[in-house]
Amino acid sequence: MVHIGPIALGEFPLLLAPMEDVSDPPFRTLCKMHGADMMYTEFISSEGLIRDAAKSRQKLDIYEKERPIGIQIFGSEIDSMRRAAEISAASGPDVLDINYGCPVKKVACKGAGAGILQDIPKMVSMTKEIVDAVDLPVTVKTRLGWDENSKYIVEVAERLQDVGIQAISIHGRTRAQMYKGSADWSLIRDVRQNPRMQIPVFGNGDVDTPEKALAYRNEFGVDGIMIGRGSIGNPWIFNEIKHFFATGEHLAPPSVADRVEAARAHLVHSLEWKGERLGVVEMRRHYANYFRGLPHFKQHRLSLVTEPDPAAIHALLDGVTAAYADGMPSA
């Protein structure tokens, strides 16, 4: 049984990664429904939280049906991160997660996210301050290192454990790689096999099929897998992996009707959380993901992303189901 502090996550948990503009409550609801064992919020700016920015505060929204749930924060200043941790803890998450892995320029080049991998002593000090500031399990998500010449993750993981973190998720790339090439899980395996490591080690990067999940579990010996991009438009992946682990067989792929119902549920939750106008607008980027690979879908997508009325969108989704009811329509 894998535990983060007192939280039991099962024998081999599957975690939904924190993803900007993706891991919001509507999407998390779907992933939980389809088998995610642990989830995290989008990453939240520490500076935004301490300045009471509305967008940052909204990302603190969590719901009982999502538990166990972690709030993830990022920032470059130790005092701001400590204060943001205290604010986040007051929202009642099960876990507080620190983002030491975001590679995007506007974050990393300001010393936050993966940027702190250039200053390991500061990373350790910041982590200790946060651990000491909250009465919650603190976890970390990070990368192998800043670049090819600074892959210090085995030492870094040990030092972070020594100051009190209770789990670590590691993406198998450096910051310099961004998301290019293939994730290298060999150093994640080295972290897990370090005899001093007593906390769970979760692997992250490139897991987008049940076969990969099983192969990576067996080859690298991690305690669980964190899934990010593989879940976008595909919340079913968690149960698909679990079924494959248990039986060696695949679940039937989602039908068009399944895809429509997922998009519809996402829309409903988006409207509930964000209100009608914003809920409709922000849902538009998700339709292409839910219907990826469907032939002759372009006109349906154009209708969905230009229609402002929720009732009309529901009717358009009904139209998608009808259009594909007897197989794939011709052009």
Query: What CA–CA distance (Å, rounded) separates 142 from 157?
Result: 9
Helix (H, G, I), strand (E, B) or coil at 114: helix
Say how far residue 58 (Cα) sits from the centre of its chain: 17
Active site residue 109: no
**Active-site residue (options: 38, 102, 183, 241):** 102
Token pair of 238 as six digits: 């968690």
CA 61 vs CA 77, 93, 170, 325: distances in Å: 24, 10, 25, 38
* Cα 231-55-41 angle, rounded to 5 deg: 30
DSSP 216-251: HHHHH--SEEEESGGGTT-TTHHHHHHHHHHHSSPP
- Let me know: does 143 contact 179? Beta carbons within 8 Å: no
- Let me know: does 154 contact 191? Beta carbons within 8 Å: yes
Active site residues: 102
